[in-house]
Amino acid sequence: MRKLFGKLKEGLTKTRQNLSDNVHRVLTGRKKIDEETFEDLEEALIMGDVGVGTSERLLDRLRERVKKDRIETGEVLEEALIEEVEQILLGGEGAVTVPEAKPRVVVMVGVNGTGKTTSLGKLAHYHASNGERVMVAAADTFRAAAVDQLRVWADRAKVEIVSNESGADPAAVAFDAVSSARSREMDVVFVDTAGRLQTKVNLMEELRKIGRVIGKACPGAPHEVLLVLDATTGQNAVIQAKQFGDVIDITGLVLTKVDGTAKGGVVVAISDELGIPVRYLGLGEGIDDLQPFDAKAFAEALFKADTVSVENEA
């Protein structure tokens, strides 16, 4: 876990310089917590792409903590901030619990350029490497390149793929894959979908159709819908998440390109605005660089660059 923490810390370097260094500068040495402290802290959070709404809610919680826990110094307030950020990243009290199922059907959604198909391939590799029988469905039939790309990833991950020619009905491909996975007792099915621009109403309707058809092939499915977001887009990722949430019930987030941005604070904003937990985090281009998200490790790597929690030392 120490190696993973180190990679996480390194990947968050740009965000830390933009967000946590400013937070640390505001709070270090403060011997008195007053309204000026909160105003300076709010500015640091907003500048770090945490967003206005999320920053205000964080400050409200911290004001309560100051009164309840009698916090008197900036250092202790910073520890409280880390704890509150961790709770947000867990998805809050309304976070969706993913049901146990076999096969577990996971639909991947997101706009073009977020790294959706690549993330699917890495997730297939991750689960296959852990001994699960994995199938992927190439339901992004709008682009021939997307089907070819997923075939390459299926080969790399050594998992099975269900595909059709370009232009085929995406819902039909998803139905065939899920039906096949059920009959062959696969553990998990990842369904790729078109990189839908949130303004394309017809494509959003297609996404709804895929969800309905999958439910017919496997009652209760899809069991998880993962929205892939590019962290480098900052607050625009929050808008995308809200608009996709209007179409389909999103159960988790995949944040890509976190290592290439100073806008990693948006991870906190998205989780807070939608109450959706981050499931996976992308910190590189390698096949092993997409890992299950650990809220505690993320919060500590972001705000406590030189320390590692007891759990992460194990």
**Mean residue pLDDT across the chain:** 85
Pick from 37-46, 58-67, 127-136, 253-262: least confident: 253-262
Residue 107, strand partner residues: 191, 225
pLDDT tens, position by position, 159-180? 999 998 878 899 999 999 999 9
Residues tagged in the binding site annotation for GTP? 110-117, 192-196, 256-259
Alpha-carbon torsion angle 231, 235, 262, 73, nearest 10: -120
Which H helix or E strand runs over 163?
Answer: none
Q: Which CATH class is domain 104-295?
A: alpha beta
Alpha-carbon torsion angle 244, 248, 251, 254, nearest 10: -40
What is the edge-to-edge ordering of all strands in the sheet holding 188-192? 160-162, 134-138, 188-192, 104-109, 224-230, 252-256, 278-282, 290-292
Residue 17 has pLDDT above 80, yes or no: no
pLDDT the model gives residue 6: 65
pLDDT tens, position by position, 68-104? 999 999 999 999 999 999 988 886 654 556 668 899 9
Given pLDDT bands bounded at 50, 70 and 90, which one contains residue 314? very low
Read off φ and ψ for residue 112, nearest 5 degrees: -60, 140
| CATH of 2-93+304-313 among 2.160.10.10, 2.40.40.20, 3.90.1640.30, 1.20.120.140 | 1.20.120.140
Burial (CB count within 10 angstroms: exposed 0-12, middle 13-18, buried 19+), residue 314: exposed
Work out the percent of the chain whose per-residue pLDDT is above 90: 48
Residue 7 has pLDDT above 80, yes or no: no
Residue 144 has pLDDT above 80, yes or no: no
- Looking at the chain, the domain(s) classified CATH 1.20.120.140 span 2-93+304-313
Given pLDDT bands bounded at 50, 70 and 90, which one contains residue 5? low
pLDDT the model gives residue 196: 62
pLDDT the model gives residue 1: 46
> Can you tell me the distance from the alpha carbon of 59 to that of 102, in angstroms, rounded to the nearest whole number?
42
Given pLDDT bands bounded at 50, 70 and 90, which one contains residue 44? very high
Residues tagged in the binding site annotation? 110-117, 192-196, 256-259
Alpha-carbon torsion angle 153, 284, 20, 270, nearest 10: -10
**Strand, coil or helix: 14:** helix
**Strand, coil or helix: 50:** coil
pLDDT tens, position by position, 238-265? 788 887 887 788 889 998 887 776 677 8
- Looking at the chain, the domain(s) classified CATH 3.40.50.300 span 104-295
pLDDT tens, position by position, 191-204? 999 876 555 667 77
Question: Cβ atoms within 10 A of the Cβ of 83, count?
Answer: 14
**Per-residue exposure over 159-196, b if at least 16 CB sit within 10 Å of its own CB, e if not:** bbbbbbeeebebbebbbbbbbbbbeeebbbbbbbbbbb
Q: Two tokens at 261? A: 């941005």
Alpha-carbon torsion angle 232, 11, 249, 212, nearest 10: 90
Read off φ and ψ for residue 163, nearest 5 degrees: -145, 170
